[in-house]
Structure 1
Amino acid sequence: MERYSAYKDSGVDWIGEIPEGWKTIKNKHLAYIRARLGWKGLKAEEYVDDGYPMYSAFNCVEGNLCPTPVNYISRERYDESPEIMLSDGDILLVKDGAGIGKYAVIRKVEKPATVNGSLAVISPTPNMESRYLGYFYASMQFQDYIHLLMDGMGVPHLFQRDLKQVPVIVPPKAEQQSIADYLDEKTGVIDAAVKDIERSIELLNEYRQSVISEAVTKGLDPTVPMKDSGIDWIGQIPEHWSVLYPKKLFALRKERAHADDQQLTASQKYGVISQKRFMALENQRVMAVLTGNDILKHVEAGDFVISMRSFQGGLEYSYESGKISSAYVMVHPFTEQTYSEYYKYLFKTWAYIQALQSTSNLVRDGQALRYANFAQVYLPVPSIEEQQMIAHYLDDATENINSLIQQKQSLVVRLKEYRASLISECVTGKVKVPGVEE
């Protein structure tokens, strides 16, 4: 795309130069900005099944209003805050929590609605195209700047007074509309492509799960005679397999942490790995454990960790030895007929996770699962040789599927980066959209 013929200094360091005919104006002069003040929220019993929609940060998705999930409130509660009743052209901007900066443009109000305390409602003045202003809020420059303004103890917060002072780049109204039209078209194509790729990732995840489930409960030879396992979640198994009570295969590990143990982190995404590696993979810091080893537990590579989230995503496999919080429960194989790598896959199948969920007292005293729950779910037991064969087969099969998933995830990241870059270049005047006359 072309550049404008002449530029000038915007007078704002983080904006830089803008086209000659554009202006830089504070947000408060371009829109009416307001939010719920002093609101203490609603009790669960105050929500109704069919009333007035009350949107939250979850409804702001890539600049568009996603109608679900949403809570509904009564007419009485809706009428309490007339200043934040939504109108066509309003922009919702997340001002609280991890999602600060996400936004949605209300193209058309289908039903009288309002917002909760996490959102600011921004109504542009007549000389502003709301779609353009929304795209400006999506620009990398605006996003970087407001994240410098965030405040709050524990929960990040963007104050209205700061939001009102943020400079906005303002082209002539007709040019705002041209930019918004162009970005609507281009981001629509990108968003559709991302949606298709994300759906293909979901299908690959489902396929990987089916490959794992089939192998760990049916084996690798489709010609062997089968029998009923007698266990609902397992179903039919090869005739020569057995089914055993978990306590005959796994024992509790009760060791306290060793003096030289490294700190471990348990996650559904990576299993149990060193805290240092987890921080590198996630590019984030983790709160260091400052307590003594006397209240931490030792974990051996090959152990399984029962965490507070195991009822959602199965047991976490430990790839390394070290120490971990005493809130976790560790089990380890103690017989020669138990191969950890085979059970690493089995403990992540949907059928096994559902079996765990069916055990009693899943949530009690802050704990999601205990050893007693684990012990209730009977397990299939192939021969040790077959366990090893299945594990090695799944290592190869899932590596190929995971590689495809990673390629598609990388493509999604690149498309989203391109989307953000395109928006930023257009709304800051670094490029001139087709059809604009100077």
Structure 2
Amino acid sequence: MSLLAYQQMKPSGIEYSDEIPSDWSLKRLGDLVAFAQGKAHEPYIDDDGDYICVNSRFVSTSGKTIKRCSVNLTPASLNDILMVMSDLPNGRALARAYYVDDHGKYAVNQRVCRITAEKAHSRFLFYLLDRHPGLMQNDDGVHQTHLSNSDFQKLKLYLPSVSEQNQIARFLDHETARIDALIEEQQRLIELLKEKRQAVISHAVTKGLDPTAPMKDSGVEWLGEVPAHWGFGKIRYFAKIESGHTPSRSKPEYWENCTIPWFSLADVWQIRRGEVIELFETKELVSEFGLANSSARLLPKGTVVLSRTASVGYSAIMGCDMATTQDFANWVCGSKLDNTYLLFCFRAMKSEFDRLMVGSTHKTIYMPDIAGLVCSVPPRDEQGEIAAHIKISNSKFGDMIDEAERMKKLLSERRSALISAAVTGKIDVRGWKPPASLPSPELVQEAM
């Protein structure tokens, strides 16, 4: 796709903008729109409520995360723009915009504002305002940012004529829809690859690598039939289970002069791929004095950690001696159980974890249920072969998933760049017309 540039440009005179087309005019947002700040709907939150509570989470996820309420104090209407006014330092929600394109019942919550276009094209304004640099400059990266009514109303904008705004909005609607479709294709590919990776793991630890092996019924639902020469039983018969613990946070000496890696739920989100937790991958360290004066224990390298709270089912192997919080059940394998094989058994147990989890918002599995977990136990050398097979398969799937994620990122970056270029006059789309057809691979190639 080749687009022209405007022939005549002029300096914008705004610190966050350079040149703009010479016939675009400077406006204040407050002169173009009606503005209203949302009100607190928390007292009326109700899963069965008639209204969608438009909070920052709803806006930042493009309407995918929904909370409902029973009362609507600040209604939003078709073609309104809803924007987040407050977020943590470097947050992803600040000044994020949501466009109301249906007649749903939206209740605008506090820290979100409602903008109704009166003297501008609403859809163009949505593209222009989303994460607008004039609003984002209020984020100092240190303190929580609270945009005021005045920050929005005095925001300086350069706009073309309303008819040109309409043309730019039509262009962006068409092009972003195409890019979004490609992003969705990549997301579906990622999910498919993850499903296949999971299927390989589950099959290997329940059926083995020899398709001709005689089978027997294990009597365990998640295992089903297993090779006849395999054993199976409660994991605690083959590995020692150790619950984690947290030394008192009120005693600074437990957390000073620290040398021991301390694995917590905060680390789970950082360590997603691979099997081993390395020394440098924990956010915190704990002292020997802290361990000596608490129920926490230093666990040996090779221990398998299993999260039983919040990130239920996450598992990995300690790459060095370390300790964990009480959110983990830790397994020190005996002579009959390979730790990498056990790790993959845990990664095949999703249905078991789903069955055992309790709690509506804060999911957990109680330690007695953890102690009752069952796995198959092939001969030790066969466990090693299965683990090696899964690691090779995981590596191949991981590479394909990484490539799909890379393509998603490139497409998202292209989408953002295209919007920015169109609404700031870097490209001239006045002569653009929707093409009759355009094969999506051309767009993929342009993004690469």
Instruction: Specify which of 355, 360, 381 is matched with residue 358 of structure 1.
Output: 355
Any conservation in 2 of the 1:204–1:401 contact (CA below 8 Å)? yes
Q: CA deviation at 1:242?
A: 1.0
What CA deviation, in whole Å up to 9, does each residue of 1:20-77 have, x standing for no partner?
111232322222222224x261255xx2636233333444378x655x634142xxx2
Aligned to 1:342: 341
Question: Where in structure 2 are the equivalents of 1:144-163 lying within 5 Å?
Answer: 144-148=136-140, 152=144, 156-163=145-152
Question: Where in structure 2 are the equivalents of 1:312-327 lying within 5 Å?
Answer: 312-327=311-326
Any conservation in 1 of the 2:80–2:115 contact (CA below 8 Å)? yes
- Is residue 133 of structure 2 the alignment partner of residue 141 of structure 1? yes
Return the TM-score normalized by structure 2. Answer: 0.81
Any conservation in 2 of the 1:313–1:353 contact (CA below 8 Å)? no
What CA deviation, in whole Å up to 9, does each residue of 1:270-317 have, x standing for no partner?
466357446xxxxxxx5777996335642433212243536x541421
Instruction: Specify which of 76, 79, 90 is matched with residue 86 of structure 1.
Output: 76
Q: CA deviation at 1:250?
A: 1.6
What CA deviation, in whole Å up to 9, does each residue of 1:216-251 have, x standing for no partner?
111011111111101122111110111122221121
Any conservation in 1 of the 2:244–2:329 contact (CA below 8 Å)? no
Q: CA deviation at 1:135?
A: 0.7
Does the residue aligned with 2:101 lie in a helix, a strand or coil? Answer: coil
Residue 181 and residue 412 in structure 1: after superposition, are their counterparts in 2 closer, same or farther (change >3 A)?
same
Residue 147 and residue 185 in structure 1: after superposition, are their counterparts in 2 closer, same or farther (change >3 A)?
farther
Residue 123 and residue 174 in structure 1: after superposition, are their counterparts in 2 closer, same or farther (change >3 A)?
same
Residue 297 and residue 172 in structure 1: after superposition, are their counterparts in 2 closer, same or farther (change >3 A)?
farther
Residue 330 and residue 149 in structure 1: after superposition, are their counterparts in 2 closer, same or farther (change >3 A)?
closer
What is the distance in 2 between the residues matched to 1:149 and 1:24?
29
Q: CA deviation at 1:100?
A: 2.2
Aligned to 1:401: 397
Aligned to 2:192: 203
Residue 213 and residue 414 in structure 1: after superposition, are their counterparts in 2 closer, same or farther (change >3 A)?
same
RMSD over aligned Cα atoms = 3.2
**When the two structures are aligned, how many residues end up with a matched partner?**
407
- Is residue 355 of structure 2 the alignment partner of residue 368 of structure 1? no
Any conservation in 2 of the 1:149–1:158 contact (CA below 8 Å)? no
Q: CA deviation at 1:328?
A: 3.9
Any conservation in 2 of the 1:151–1:157 contact (CA below 8 Å)? no
Aligned to 2:442: none
Q: CA deviation at 1:183?
A: 0.6
What is the distance in 2 between the residues matched to 1:336 and 1:113?
60
What CA deviation, in whole Å up to 9, does each residue of 1:338-390 have, x standing for no partner?
101111111112xx233234348x459x8824543211112211111111001
Does the residue aligned with 2:331 lie in a helix, a strand or coil? Answer: strand
Residue 171 and residue 398 in structure 1: after superposition, are their counterparts in 2 closer, same or farther (change >3 A)?
same
Q: CA deviation at 1:182?
A: 0.7
Does the residue aligned with 2:26 lie in a helix, a strand or coil? Answer: strand
What is the distance in 1 between the residues matched to 2:238 and 2:147?
53
Corresponding letter in the other structure for 2:330 = V
Aligned to 1:282: none
Any conservation in 2 of the 1:55–1:115 contact (CA below 8 Å)? yes
What is the distance in 2 between the residues matched to 1:404 and 1:18?
42
Corresponding letter in the other structure for 2:10 = K
